[in-house]
Amino acid sequence: MREMPESVAINVDGKLLNVERGVSILQVAQKNNIYIPTLCAHKDLTSFGGCRMCIVEVDGMRGFPTACTTPVENGMVIRTDTPQIKTERIEILRLLLSEHPSSCLICDEKDECRQYMGTIRKAGVTTGCRYCPKDGQCELQQVVEASGLNEINYPIRYRNLPVEKDDPFYDRDYNLCILCGRCVRICKEIRGANIIVFKERGRHTLIGPAYDRSHIDAGCEFCGECVSVCPTGALSEKANKWKGLFDREENSTCAYCGIGCQMRLLIKEDEIIGSLPAEDPVVSNGQLCVKGRFCVTELVNNHRRLKKPLRSKMETSWKFFGGKLSSWQQKNFQLAHPNSSACLFLLIVVTKICTSLRNLPASLWPQTTLIPAQDYSTGPGSTIT
């Protein structure tokens, strides 16, 4: 039997490419810096083709296939940016925005409004329409700007749904939902929970737990994966809803348990305003639990958090604390290794409530990371409480 070649040759906007067989047109475009707008596709999820924004022209195919659901084939000729494709995408956007608040998307004063929200009243107040919690981070906003859309010719229908604020960690404003299905798919495919689904049909379609149950009654663990993949402001974290765009990211390890899940801390003006799962295929497969996803911000920014060491319930300086540790380290090291002059000594400070599970990473880390096994002659590091 003749084997199929592992790569195929295709033509995308006049550019000849050799790509892996079986990948989608959208994946090829993203890897080769060819812009195709999309709102429902996500790298960790199966293809959906719901938003229809990624339509392209393919020679020999009828209509406009979606790039996210169409696998490449040898000899394909693909066009992603023709005048007809642009026109179709703008019409799709207009239909989408006819049921979505669009004041921050197509207003001709949106740039000035972002810098200064003026008022005609003689009072010390400002007004404006930039009320979306994801303003500046919204994928729909980016797609509208890239398309050049500046008006909507269809009747506007505002769904006037109440904002759901009953659950503890994030709010849900389905007036901003575009039914991309990312939250439904990540809950099913990545978390295996199936808590939220599409409800009703047609213009009445909504997203939420089946049978009108609350998220708590449906068994939601509040992992926050749905919030992370939402392209609009429909799902917003309570703790940083109005914090705006972060300045930088720092990778860290979640300290809530001993598993060691990796996270990305979102920082703005030297303040942690959020935490997201980091790419971590070994420990947590790029996921966090409710504590790591939503509780880090409120813990580190809590006004009752200890910022200095305590001695007999009284604050003391780090210099005093460091001196005590230094003297303890020198004394115990000399007792344990009286004849050694070039050994590595590692001091790990933990609390009294640390369980064996939480102490395990502290014991394994110096043995597997700091010192090669053949040179490890000082024995396991000790801990004090």
| Continuous segment of H or E residues that includes residue 237 | strand 235-237
Asked if residues 254 and 272 have their Cβ atoms less than 8 Å apart, the reply is no
List, for residues 335-362, the tens digit of each pLDDT value. 555 555 544 455 555 555 555 555 556 6
Angle between helices 83-97 and 139-147 (to 10 degrees): 140
- Phi/psi at 337 (5° precision): -135, 70
pLDDT of residue 372: 47
Domains along the sequence of the chain with CATH: 7-81 (3.10.20.740), 315-384 (no CATH)
Bridge partner residues of 33 (DSSP): none
Mean pLDDT of 154-158: 89
For residue 75, pLDDT over 90 is answered with yes
For residue 162, pLDDT over 80 is answered with yes
Mean pLDDT of 24-34: 95
| Continuous segment of H or E residues that includes residue 184 | helix 182-189
List, for residues 229-274, the tens digit of each pLDDT value. 999 999 999 988 888 889 999 998 888 888 888 899 999 998 999 9
For residue 168, pLDDT over 90 is answered with no
What is the per-residue burial (b if ≥16 Cβ within 10 Å, else e) of 138-155?
A: bbbbebbeebebeebeee
Asked if residues 254 and 292 have their Cβ atoms less than 8 Å apart, the reply is yes
pLDDT of residue 349: 56
Q: What is the DSSP letter of 24?
A: B
Mean pLDDT of 350-379: 52
For residue 34, pLDDT over 50 is answered with yes
What is the spatial distance between Cα 92 and Cα 90, in angstroms, rounded to a whole number? Answer: 5
Mean pLDDT of 45-64: 94
Mean pLDDT of 116-137: 64
Q: Which two tokens stand for residue 353?
A: 């409530």
Q: Which two tokens stand for residue 211?
A: 């049978």
pLDDT of residue 12: 95
pLDDT of residue 119: 52
